[in-house]
Structure 1
């Protein structure tokens, strides 16, 4: 099969959507399929390495998520590429410019279009006129319009599927969780030197208890709670250090909060780091923390679990099947409970081994191979359906292109 993936975020950006696409691309390629990524421009991208596989289009920063880019040109070029590459199916991963482009080309060339709904946009409305311009109801209307006439819409979790159903999105909604390349997060003796270098750079001692946060530092991720829990936690566990990996619009504010609370010796902000170094950070830490309720799946939780790192997270429907309290991880319900929850966990380190073992067994179904297998079956189903129902139209279009 020849698959075109349309997205407004891709490597070297680090986020759940980019990770999902990278895993899908890698494992479909291993199965013998040709996969091409159509995405927005990025000044940090390695264009030489991407040549022939990734096609980038001129773009501007997005208002609602400044780190994301929205393509502003390139429809004609993309159209020629779809023809030249003889694409069989288009899979969109955004509802914005690149996604719209993908849907237009699918319609033009009578190709099946599958869409993955990655983002709970109602949690991002505060970026636009502080949430006063676009009401949550409009998100449902726009989502419904975008998903119209797609062969299938993929929801990474049941939480997302239920949200789509509430938006009255008709048609096939498939729940297919993104898989993880477990080998990437397996403990490796080669990482020992990297871990040592990271600790030295961050001025962390061997006696420190390291709490780790990985992700976009933004309001919807609720990372403020992690910092606010420290003063109480440090009274009983003074060796605790919080390492926050990532960048985002709230980073400056959180750094100011850290200073205000007198926590500069206990918190480390790394900024954005290369994807290849992420596994070493997981291996370095003692606990993974998150207070977010805006996740569609929580890929960082799965990465942590695959790394053998216990997860402490705020209870949310998106992770209900992933994290079972005191079995595959630890959960807290209210923000104010985090400090006490962490203290109780750190007072009983003997339970970590059982949690790690059960967590790894629990996520076996989320392997990248299983993910790729489900996607491959859906692609084949969609292509077969379109070939049988649009055969005469596609044959005519191909003859016209060749004449």
Structure 2
């Protein structure tokens, strides 16, 4: 099978979405010919074994990379897609590259699939508002919603990570095929078993891995430490999206003299398994998590999880491998349960640990790739892949409005996009299925003029 994957994130960027995108492509390439298209520092094609990587020159601020969609780069993308001749294309996000390639798929009648790593009815809540208030407003704007709906409608199928995500996709208004396929992980990284007696350890280690954001609610975890003895240590591993929130958390710790809270910053992915090996409990107070890779990895390492109710905690955590609190639980209640689990006899703690591993044993990349490939085959043979799609007319007012929004977007008081990218991003957002035809017709006209 020949598969194309797309993402808007460079390697090591984009949190869980970016990590999954940069893992699923090489995981597929063990068995299948794979083309992976994503942002890079320059446009370059790399091939190794069955995996071909096409990096597209991009501009980057924070975690987001905006591809430079010049005529040269667009031509390169289309040429490589044509040469590769994919049987199916799979986008991991709703970014400009995925959109552009979706339009190529529409024109060439190639099945297109999208994995929804966010809840589509709450897209702005997944970090955008903390990156920039203006970005949050853009994502909540009617024009943006039109774009998202258009993107969904032009998919042969959408992959939901769990039943909560499926419900939200249906609520969003998508009526096409939905397949339930969770994220995969390399479970071999977490095969080392815990051997220390949690009850007898001098220091009890609590860990959270992920961005420091208001959505992930680290303040609740820090508040919990006020009700725990000083030999309980909370380690927060991850960078801050909003530096003001990090300053707020540090000041809170200083105010209440919580010297047992450690801010580790961004931890290399391969070092997370080492952190988990010494961790007694993984803690989470996130308000919204479609499917947290950090919780999957914690369970895979045999670390019990205590968390406030959210999409991931509700799906994967129970009294056999940790504990689930309601969203309105207090830090004091949370702390009591932490002490209870850390005080368990070694045999009982190891039962939790073994149950944690058992819960996620089916989420290894090898098994997820096989499950996904089976659905690809179903999609490829489905009659939907042979249907034609009518182009949608976009008014000049729509174009002018969305250009205005992108122009106003600022980060740290600086314009986020330069003038060229404002126009290109607006175009690729609004021209929909006319884009490929327009590009090819324009190139054809240029060639005629030159001749």
TM range (shorter): 0.7 to 0.9
Report matched runs for 1:67-82 at 5 Å.
67-73=63-69, 74-82=73-81
2:8 counterpart of 1:15:
no
Offset at residue 42 of structure 1 (A): 5.7
1:344 is aligned to 2:344: no
Q: Which residue of 1 aligns with 2:322?
A: 329
- After the TM superposition, which residues 29-40 of structure 1 pair with which residues of structure 2 at under 5 Å, given as runs? 29-30=29-30, 32-40=31-39
- Equivalent residues in 2 for 1:240-389, closer than 5 Å: 240-249=232-241, 250-263=245-258, 265-324=259-318, 326-333=319-326, 334-336=328-330, 337-350=333-346, 351-385=348-382, 389=386
**Does residue 41 in structure 1 map to residue 40 in structure 2?**
yes
Off by >6 Å, runs of 4+ in structure 1: 46-52, 136-139
Alignment: residue pair count: 366
With over 3 angstroms needed to count, the CA separation of the structure-2 counterparts of 1:252 and 1:49, relative to structure 1, is farther
Contact residue 246 and residue 273 of structure 1 kept, 8 A: yes
Q: Distance in 1 between matches of 2:189 and 2:83?
A: 34
Aligned to 2:133: 129
**Partner of residue 3, structure 1:** 3
List alignment gaps of at least 5 residues for structure 1. 193-205, 392-403
2:141 & 2:203 partners in 1: Cα distance?
Answer: 43
Query: Structure 1 residues 371 and 218, CA, compared in 2 at 3 Å: closer, same or farther?
Result: same
Q: Secondary structure at the match of 2:264?
A: strand
Contact kept? 1:178, 1:366, Cα under 8 Å = yes
Q: Does 1:225 align with 2:225?
A: no
TM-score by length of 2: 0.73
1:183 paired residue number: 188
Alpha-carbon distance in 2 for matches of 1:134, 1:276: 33
Distance 1:388 1:138 in 2: 27
Give the match's secondary structure for 2:324.
strand
Written as runs of structure 1 = structure 2, the 5 A alignment for 1:57-136 is: 57-61=56-60, 66-73=62-69, 74-120=73-119, 121-124=123-126, 126-127=129-130, 128-129=132-133, 135=140
Which ranges in structure 2 are unaligned for 5 or more consecutive residues?
Answer: 196-200, 389-451
Q: 1:231 to 1:347 in 2, by over 3 A?
A: same
